[in-house]
Chain A
């Protein structure tokens, strides 16, 4: 099997959300001596990108993105473990994420975390029903590039305001994004976040933009 063929098969395994095949082709690619950078960029991230395009074109849906996310995560882990060279896969940044206090919904947040990890971000998940003080404590500790506040319910908005105010008053410099289907540009401005996303995929794109700014 040629180098291109192996990478193509790995990319397809990612795209189809097949974790077993993804592990298999990562191992085969390593054995063939393909550079880690190429395995990551030309197969794993390429598969993630194509899955995103299919989602935007209405050919993929949330279940497909989640399966792709799982395949990306196991492929990346295999790459790290096999080589025991974690430094070769550099983190693209650290993201602190959690569902705000009073809300314990986490489907959108889980999707975002899965795909962010697959794209090479370090993600610290505080879970759900997270008090503002806990966001602050962890932000001080890990100094993330970005903080993501998630909330499904309309009532989450007031907790987002409280959390963002606390973080800003305590001089936390990380960029802040809020996520939830009920949010709008106006509520984002009121809350004081840098940006907002109405669904998980939009969140991924906006987080990438905010981190690159």
Chain B
């Protein structure tokens, strides 16, 4: 380990709590398995094979990227949860493995029929190798870096994996069946939480991958019905602050924060900085993790100087007053030039020290 993680822990969690004792804007990045493979040269199967190998590879990668955050990408309620369901229901054919990127689920294969939903078995995450190793890796990262690992949970992300496009038709032709599936996924998510408590310990926050909260997918009423109500139930049981992530193109951030008490929001859209300036004015106590450093624009096709300009714009508009974490809008793709990623912490160092003095 080469990094002073204690400073990063303070930077991130003080920002989240709204403390004034923050030295500079924190840098958070979503570096998935693909980036970890790229930095360490290991395959996904090698990473997943041992908690120690996995934890060390994650630490190496996040230290290389010079982020203030660190997390275990597979301990996330998307593909890994689909794998757990596939194993519990003898449907491993639905899972496709890759060498240098995370496994994926053939959407809709696990819950192809109504009967599949009715008979769906809830996975025991303590018995699932990938989950077990991911949680043990999270524990090791906690111990080595003292960065308390944040748990990520979701309902709709898992619905999409298990039921695929049929879920959207169920909303109109068989909503009770869809709710039955959501209930089972909720139960499974709570099993992840129980295992997390036992292996990793109490998380400081819950990061909700709230994919339903997107106008392109469904009405706000439906997003509350199929995801929101379950998050409210999670909040009643897990007494830590919740953060919301949505990577859809038209998120319901302004609507959802009126209904559910999220401490932070993170999205890949809108890309218009004015939206976020307005959001900060309306909801000054909600932390913005973002806001518009685009992984498919300046990060992918631009130069470090283009990235610096965007970071400067974000800091200038969103950092004064605190409660801002600088973060590219989505997970870092394979082709992003590494100098463009490293330009973010450099720009933060230049412009992001509090009090913000750029004009």
Contacts and interface: CB of A to CB of B under 8 A. Distances in A.
A181 B247 contact: yes
A104 interface: yes
A185 B247 CA distance: 18
A63 B333 contact: no
A104 B296 contact: no
A63 B34 contact: no
B199 interface: no
A64 B172 contact: yes
A186 to B, nearest CB: 4
Interface stretch (B7-15, B66-74, B162-170, B319-327): B162-170
A105 B172 CA distance: 22
B333 A157 contact: yes
Interface residues of B, number: 41
A111 interface: yes
A103 B333 contact: no
Interface in A85-124: 102-107, 110-111
Contacts of B173: 67
A17 B173 CA distance: 10
Given A186-B300, A198-B249, A154 B330 contact: yes
Interface in A119-160: 128-129, 153-155, 157-158
A186 B165 contact: no
Contacts of B330: 154, 182
Given A186-B298, A190-B301, 11 more contacts: A61-B215, A63-B218, A102-B101, A129-B96, A157-B335, A158-B333, A181-B268, A182-B330, A186-B302, A187-B300, A199-B216
B104 A104 contact: yes
Interface centre among A17, A61, A67 (most CB of B within 10 A): A61
Contact of A181 (B107, B164, B248, B297): B248
A66 B300 CA distance: 33
B129 interface: no
A198 B334 CA distance: 20
B40 interface: no
B289 interface: no
Contact of A63 (B107, B160, B168, B295): B168
Contacts of B269: 181
B173 to A, nearest CB: 7
B168 A155 contact: no
Given A107-B107, A129-B96, A182-B296, A161 B335 contact: yes
Contacts of B294: 184
Contacts of A183: 296
Contact of A157 (B107, B247, B298, B300): B300
A66 B169 contact: yes
Given A17-B172, A61-B222, A190-B300, A154 B295 contact: yes
A182 B171 contact: no
Contacts of A158: 333-335
Interface centre among B164, B219, B248 (most CB of A within 10 A): B219
A157 B296 contact: yes
A106 B167 CA distance: 13
A104 B107 contact: yes
A63 B332 CA distance: 30
Given A17-B172, A63-B169, A182-B295, A154 B107 contact: no
Contact of A61 (B217, B301, B333): B217
Contacts of A199: 216, 249
- A-B pairs, 3 with minimum CB distance: A154-B333, A187-B296, A63-B171
Interface in B133-168: 160, 164-165, 168
25 contacts: A61-B215, A61-B219, A61-B222, A66-B165, A66-B168, A67-B172, A102-B101, A104-B96, A104-B106, A104-B107, A107-B160, A107-B165, A110-B164, A153-B331, A153-B333, A154-B333, A157-B300, A181-B247, A181-B268, A181-B269, A186-B296, A186-B297, A186-B300, A190-B300, A199-B216
